[in-house]
Amino acid sequence: MKYSATSLLSVASACRGPDVQFSPTQDQLELREAARNYLRASCTAKYLTRRVAGGPEVADGWSGLVEMGLPGYLVSTTAGGLGMDAPGFALVAEESGYVALPEPLIEVAGVAAPLLDQLAGQQALAAEVCTGRVRVIPAHPLNPFFNQADPTDPVLLLGDEIRLVEPLSGLAGLDSIDPLRNLRRFDAIQGGGAVLARGDEAVALTQSAIQRGAVFTAAELLGLSAAMIDKATAYAGERKQFGKVIGSYQAIKHHLANAFVRLEFARPVVYRAAACLGQDAADLWVAQAKIAAIDTAIEAAEIAIQVHGAMGYTFEVELHLWMKRAWALAGLWGDRNHHLARVENALLSKNLATGPAATFCNHG
């Protein structure tokens, strides 16, 4: 069974509990605007193309993120971070997706840094992450690859035990469908490292980390979708056929409108999940968010390719970098089948009310 954005919203409403406000605050909007301005000025299509080609002229992308304080976005101010919250970081993650940022911002800032901040005795390491002196890369079977990991980066292995392993040297690289992702596989690491947490504490922290990874990846997919729609719209306004721009034809308009509508339906699902992290039903909301974001990104990619015609499949068109990133992110922190199983289990086992009455009735 394939759930639409509307049915997912229905499930979210059915198990909503207390009303949740997730409209961005002024601080969140200002930080998003600052991140947007920096990312769109520095992480351009030309920069990404140079990065794919390699070479010493490609600047270090991580240092600029550190200067903005983004690695410490979710870290407490006592540990040197910004002390902001998950809904705000979801906005930043969306902006990073819009430019197809190749740096591991979600992994380091969205998953590892706040986890370290919550662990007793690890705030000093969290502070090191905030300052950019070290990057800690999280690893779990639902996120089995290290992206852009430097041989000096320690690894945070998540699970029934949380261990900090130093470092990544000796792990062979892997090919990716996305040429901007430089991957290594974590399951080659055999034991070792310092145990930071065990038992119930480790399980709870790992669960929270997985939820953050999934919802922030979903937000990144929203940004990728928006960028692909914008690129397709711009192309449709320039490309002429039979003496008219192709964007004037209804078939093209309807395709782009469908992609835009799906994106607008997915955004509140993702924002809601980010606002509800830490609550009892967060796992279900996160699952809905990842499904909605995957479906949105895949549809946006397909429509963008169709609008570009045969050129959409070529390396000469920058669209392929965004499309391939969407494909790569669709499987991280749980693929569609993984999260769909969680939604189906909730529907079948929790006797949730669904349909228009549950979605649109007054819960106040």
| 266, part of any domain | yes
**Per this entry, what is the length of the chain?**
364
SS3 category, 148: coil
What CA–CA distance (Å, rounded) separates 259 from 228? 10
pLDDT for position 143: 86
Domain that holds residue 253: 211-355
Cα 256–301–178 angle (5° rounding)? 155
Q: What angle do CA 32, 36, 37 make, to 5 degrees?
A: 120
Beta-sheet pairing, 244-245 with 240-241: antiparallel
How far is the C-alpha of 308 from the C-alpha of 252, rounded, in Å?
10
What is the model's pLDDT at position 14?
40
Instruction: Judge whether 187 lies within some domain.
Output: no
pLDDT in the model for residue 73: 95
**In this structure, is residue 308 part of a structural domain?**
yes
- 8's enclosing H/E stretch is helix 5-14
Decide if 162 is inside a domain. Answer: no
Strand pairing of 155-157 and 137-139? parallel
What's the pLDDT tens digit per position in 273-322?
A: 999 998 878 888 999 999 999 999 999 999 999 888 877 777 788 889 99
d(CA 192, CA 163): 8
Q: What parts of the chain have a pLDDT lower than 50?
A: 1-18, 360-364
Residue 302 neighbours by CB under 8 Å, 6+ apart: none
Greatest extent of the chain over all pairs of C-alpha atoms, in Å: 68
In terms of Cβ atoms closer than 10 Å to its own Cβ (0-12, 13-18, 19+), residue 307 is buried
At residue 214, the pLDDT reads 97
Query: Is position 322 within any domain?
Result: yes
In angstroms, how far is the first alpha carbon of the chain from the final one?
Answer: 32
Is there a domain that residue 204 lies in? no
- HSE at residue 313, side-chain half, CA atoms within 13 A, is 3
The whole-number pLDDT of residue 12 equals 42
CATH of the domain at 281: 1.20.140.10
Number of domains in the chain: 1
- The two tokens of residue 84 are 């902001």
Distance of alpha carbon 273 from alpha carbon 5, whole angstroms: 14
Residue 155 backbone dihedrals phi, psi, to 5 degrees = -115, 135
> Which residue reads 């078939």 in tokens?
251
Residues 145 and 183: beta-carbon distance below 8 Å: yes
Q: Is residue 34 part of a domain?
A: no
Q: What is the pLDDT of residue 186?
A: 74
Q: Is residue 130 part of a domain?
A: no
